[in-house]
Structure 1
Amino acid sequence: MSALLTRLFSKLYRICFAFFHGWKFQNVGVGAALFRPYRVDGGKEITIGAQTVFQRGTWLYCCGVDGRKAALSIGGGCAFGYNNHITAVGQVVIGDNVLTANNVYISDNLHDYEDVSIPIMHQRVRFKREVKIGDGSWIGENACVIGARVGKNCVIGANAVVTSDIPDYSVAVGVPATVIKQFDPQSKKWIALKA
């Protein structure tokens, strides 16, 4: 009975989320929801597509720096795991049907650290590069995407740190992330790349 009640609560919460919390965002699609507890900074610059769900512990941050306007756009049908942190000081665009595991970090910025006389937390936050995550991609547990683009239908392995672009239909792992497999449209097979 407990599982049934949990599913019913989840469905009801998703139906009501946009009505009760939609005013905090630029736009929230039907059936989209962030499960509590969550944190949102700069919600008026954030759009969330229909049927996109964020599990507990999400932090969405969208605040421009250096006179730059920030925008965070998340497509429809996405499923984000627990404790995901997505931050935009410029632009982050996440496509449709993107899946993430827990503890994923997606960011278009870095903290400066050059001045050793100032604690890093007091140095400026700097826009690195626009981030795009392509439709249908899967980002594994504890992975980070920082100032890079991930193509369509990619797999980013657990604990990977993506700092350079990953092409469509690729599997990338490691620190820094490197492509180890790609889909070959001619043979219709995933091909392991030679090291």
Structure 2
Amino acid sequence: MKNIFIINGHQKYPFSEGKLNSSLIEKAEKFFNNKGFSVKKTTMEDNYDINEEIEKFKWADVVFFQTPLNWMGVSWSFKKYIDEVFSMGMMGEMSDGDGRSKEAPKKNYGLGGKLNGKYMMSVTANAPKEAFNNPNETFFNGISEDDLLKPMHLNFKWFGFETMPTFMAYDVMKNPEIESDFKRFEEHLTTNFK
């Protein structure tokens, strides 16, 4: 794993400027640079060229993306990016359509991926850690963080990427533990990028 593509999926709002997500991106970039990885980045706040973004995915050994949890998914700007870049990538650069063939039109849906890298999600959420994996918390009803993020996992699986463990910073607006989050984040990266 030498080539790391970092995506900052934060969308700025007056009540959420993205400082924590930016800080985590800075820490990740510094970590990867110190380890001798080559790094390319994209930020949702910036303009991007769809074909250049496809080339970044093809180049990457690991896609690392940092995103807030917005209404149980990624920000609208990150979703727009996925719609634009992944839809074009599906036309042969990143996958062979949806994986099905004329010979087997009902089989192998979603298995046409042409890439073989990995991806790691790093997520900031206002939900407390205790809201997950607990059937007594009736909103999530026992689901895990990765269950909630399943659509993103499937998006990357579509192109042949394998998952790495997800990092999550919890309760970031109401009960933040930023220094603890930073420490856990450094440990998470160190454990997974030896």
TM-score per shorter chain, which class? under 0.3
RCO higher in structure (CA 8 A, sep ≥6): 2
| Structure with greater strand percent | 1
| Structure with greater helix percent | 2
TM-score (norm 2): 0.24
